[in-house]
Chain A
């Protein structure tokens, strides 16, 4: 170590200490999943209780349902989000010479990204509330509407729509930037050879975009066990009737910890989520590496 190395280490030390406390300490603290937590003893003083917390969770009905919900929603979000965003980006490319129009479309599509999930909760409530909701008033005779907040079967569609509305503008921007980065001479040559618009999209644009698509999809698959807490906690308005289709791992852990105070059990579920999540990231990166080493995360 030269003098400069020590100085650089000193420059990084606030960050190193910060991560030690805020990220690495909780990793060690995850051992609380194997303990009976006592408030006055802290994590390290509390007595061990083996795998009891895990047994409790893995034997419960919730284990399968929240895992299924988390994976199912994420797969739907990734698939729909990617397809719709690429579609919109290609449509925008067709008119990209009209910069003003593209800019207006992009801004409008991006707006929902800046509304928090709490604002989305209000919006969805405005559409679905039983007393004054827009949908019940517009499409159903008085007092014959659907009681949305007690009907879990509709919520996979509602939450998927909310998520698409909220996030598609951002992905569209990224894919549009990707398309604009493709060398236009490819299209010009193809057009001279008589290729149709659709052929150019399918044979040139999509293949040229595929590294970007692969990276974004695989990064998303890496966090497939991690649900967007705000969407699932706020938007269904905390209605227990909807838990069968809206409870995901993150909301389950939160409610077990904050509402029920089941520290050991919720820690066990959190640890289960972190471990399978790490497995998913490593697997996803391994797959990218096989496909194209340049695109791998590490």
Chain B
């Protein structure tokens, strides 16, 4: 039968497993490449190139990084700071706004929803944004340049509106009859009732902050404020620069040779910077889908 109730040997089911398994192996190959290169000595890499399975194990790259962990730890510090501060601020402000839009008895609910929704349809573009951040808000080389831009996104507000609209109207009505103010209702009743929604939002937002590089690329030159992703990009750029200007490397033009990561150290850095996120976030995959499906509900 169609749903696979039949007990007879079913060749097509085996085929389905085979195809899916093959695709998953192909999807994993790039990760093997990174991990295996980080575990291979640079000499082997130079001789035989990158490989998917390491032939000569070497933990030298990791030992090298752990001996001088300052850059990596500092980038972790920056990323953790913007993630924590950004997520807390975002969950609070987004749920406040989303809650107001979810209240169908609010007189201005339609214009307010449009006010949020329109920013999804049209934007001034990169240049006015850049001028706003640098010329008017003076956020260049400030950690807030990586926090403020993601605090409220219209998409997240509409997700929260969708979530919070599920709170029964009777609860809010009865609180109003008891004379509670809207602030009291929101902070004392709505927020505690919607912790699952807040957790989902917090997950989506923290994922976005953790992977931040766009604003860092635009606004951060200060080495002390470089987050993880930008750190990886800077390492790649240094390597490119040296590959294209070998004589520059010899004279130590822009980079001191001691800070030059070897190929395997470079890959070990990728593993250490990007790895933890890839282990933690997939556990929450159903919340990512939930967020999207609720968000696409019609307003």
Contact = CB atoms under 8 A, between A and B. Distances in A.
A260 interface: no
B113 to A, nearest CB: 10
Contacts of A169: 27
Interface residues of A, number: 107
B218 to A, nearest CB: 7
A170 B267 CA distance: 26
A137 to B, nearest CB: 3
A207 interface: no
Interface in B133-190: 135-137, 148-149, 151-152, 154, 157, 176, 181-183, 186
Contacts, number: 278
A270 B33 contact: no
Contact of A132 (B31, B49, B123): B49
Contacts of A107: 282, 285
Interface in A5-58: 5, 7-12, 14-16, 18-19, 21-30, 32-33, 37, 39, 42-43
B232 interface: yes
Interface string B267-281: 100100010011001
Given A19-B115, A126-B33, A188-B2, A8 B106 contact: yes
B2 A1 contact: no
A158 interface: no
Contacts of A200: 2
A132 B182 contact: no
B213 A238 contact: no
A206 B220 CA distance: 48
Contact of B49 (A16, A27, A133, A297): A133
| Residue from B13, B49, B101, B117 whose CB has the most chain A CB atoms within 10 Å | B49
Interface stretch (A59-67, A73-81, A94-102): A94-102
A160 interface: no
B87 interface: no
Contacts of B254: none
B11 to A, nearest CB: 12
Contacts of B97: 11-12, 14-16
Interface string B236-270: 11001001000000000000000000010011001
Nearest to A136: B49
A7 B27 contact: no
Nearest to A272: B125
A238 B17 contact: no
Chain A CB within 10 Å — which of B125, B232, B281, B292 has the most? B125
B33 A127 contact: yes
B183 A26 contact: no
B213 A94 contact: no
A270 B103 CA distance: 36
Nearest to B116: A19
Contacts of B299: 298
A186 to B, nearest CB: 10
B43 to A, nearest CB: 12
Nearest to B94: A15
B2 A187 contact: yes
A9 B108 contact: yes
Nearest to B136: A42
A128 B176 CA distance: 65
B106 A234 contact: no
A230 interface: yes
A197 B176 contact: no
A111 interface: yes
Contact of A116 (B33, B46, B136, B211): B211
Nearest to A26: B124
Interface in B116-137: 116-117, 119, 121-132, 135-137
Contacts of B50: 126-127, 129, 132-134, 137
Contacts of B23: 88, 109
Contacts of B34: 119, 122-123, 126
B127 A270 contact: yes
B3 interface: yes
A281 interface: yes
Interface in B1-60: 1-4, 12-13, 16-17, 19-20, 23-24, 27-28, 30-31, 33-34, 37, 45-46, 48-52
Question: Which 5 pairs show the lowest CB-CB distances between chains A and B?
Answer: A270-B125, A26-B124, A29-B128, A15-B97, A137-B49
29 contacts: A4-B176, A15-B94, A19-B152, A23-B119, A24-B119, A25-B124, A25-B132, A30-B125, A42-B135, A88-B23, A91-B20, A94-B12, A94-B13, A95-B16, A97-B4, A105-B20, A111-B27, A118-B229, A123-B34, A125-B236, A126-B34, A126-B50, A134-B51, A173-B285, A174-B292, A230-B213, A237-B236, A270-B124, A298-B299
Given A122-B236, A122-B270, A123-B34, 7 more contacts: A95-B17, A133-B50, A134-B50, A173-B285, A257-B127, A267-B125, A294-B298
